[in-house]
Amino acid sequence: MDTVRKMMFTDALTSSERSVANYILNMGSRVDDLSLERVARESFTSNATVVRMCRKLGFRGFRDFRTALRRTLCIQTGADASQNVRRIWLFPNERPDVAALAYRLLPSGVCFVPLRADGTADLSAANPETDLLLTGTPRSIDPAVGLPVLLVPARA
């Protein structure tokens, strides 16, 4: 669960928020069982602390964070895919908050998507087994690439 482990090393989290991250880290691939109330109760924090942690990581709240975590872990296949995330791909003109999130999650593994002459993304170098595309804007990506895409919602 590398994405959650990376959360632990950001200076932006308070000790209570780190407790939340530790609890989520220990949940492993059982994120489907997570509820805001359960995370707060079992990490000995409050609902507000859980939501603050999610917002510091660039999400609107717990529901968006949990949805992103589910996608990252590929729960639908039963695989803990985030163990294998080695590179996070970003578009060159990505929102600054999305780029900042990518560097917080995987500081040494951020790559920029090369654009072809016609402006389309060239993801031929991306590995669907170990890479993730992080974006703040819904984009049309060739499904044949098979690259997991994580859409980061804009802050209100």
If you average pLDDT over every residue of the chain, what do you get? 76
Segment 35-50 shows an average pLDDT of 93
Q: Could you state, in order of their start, the residue ranges of all structural domains in the chain?
A: 2-76, 85-151
Two structure tokens written together for 60: 């609107």
Instruction: Confirm whether pTM is higher than 0.85.
Output: no
Segment 144-154 shows an average pLDDT of 73
Select the more confidently predicted residue: 126 or 49. 49
Pick the CATH number of 2-76 from 3.30.1360.70, 1.10.3720.10, 3.90.1150.10, 1.10.10.10: 1.10.10.10
pLDDT of residue 29: 55
d(CA 104, CA 9): 8
For 63-98, the pLDDT digits (tens) are 888 877 766 655 333 444 445 677 888 888 888 888
d(CA 28, CA 18): 16
